[in-house]
Amino acid sequence: MLNENIKAFRKKKGLSQEELAETLHVVRQTVSKWENALSVPDAEMLIRISEVLGCPVSVLLGEHLPEPEQEEKDSLSEIAGKLERLYADWAQVHEKHRRLWHGLSLLAGLLALPGIAQGMLSFLHSQRAMGLLESDPSVIGGADSATSIFVSALSASEALFLLALLLFAAAVIGLYRTRRKS
């Protein structure tokens, strides 16, 4: 509601987001966030916006435009109450999104664990089969024997292992970014 009203009055006034931002001494991205309901201006900024756009704060917050003879200055307590409800609504939506992404990150991490375990077991099994885990270390390219270099493409199990590692890393980052901040 507030986001749509800011955008409508800005356009009605013939201002671009950049021009409004300049007038309010904020960056254009801030105005864009207000208009896309990604953030909410504070009480002081809301009053400045209403002055620049030439409409009462109550109208920006969603009330119908009063008749000119009934128009009164908005009291700060009314503005504060409306902003408080607006902030509470915005915080509720933000918390819902945070929980969703946190849950998805947790699920991704749990799904990655079996792939990582399988990849590690497969690697250990292949190394043991080739005798590399139990062989003595030797110098590569010594004067006594030829040097052998083995080049191979990733097998399907190795590719799955790498994918599982990436998924797990993304999950850890996601869990960190969506943690509750005290």
Compute the distance between CA of residue 47 and CA of residue 50 in angstroms, rounded to an integer.
5
Given 3-state DSSP classes, what are the helix, strand and coil percentages for the chain, each rounded to the nearest 5? 65, 0, 35
Q: Which CATH class is domain 2-64?
A: mainly alpha
* Range 10-32 average pLDDT: 92
Residues above pLDDT 90, as percent of the chain: 23
Residue 15 has pLDDT above 80, yes or no: yes
Compute the distance between CA of residue 66 and CA of residue 22 in angstroms, rounded to an integer.
29
The two three-digit tokens of residue 181, written as one number: 């901040």
Residues in the chain: 182
Mean pLDDT of the chain: 79
Residue range 129-154, pLDDT digits in tens: 766 555 555 545 555 555 555 555 56
DSSP symbols for 52-66 = HHTS-HHHHTTPPPP
Residue 91 has, within 13 A of its CA and on its CB side, a CA count of 6
Min mean pLDDT across 135-144, 151-160, 165-174 is at 135-144
- Give the pLDDT confidence score for residue 115 in this predicted structure: 86
Residue range 45-93, pLDDT digits in tens: 888 898 898 888 888 887 665 444 444 555 677 777 788 888 888 888 8
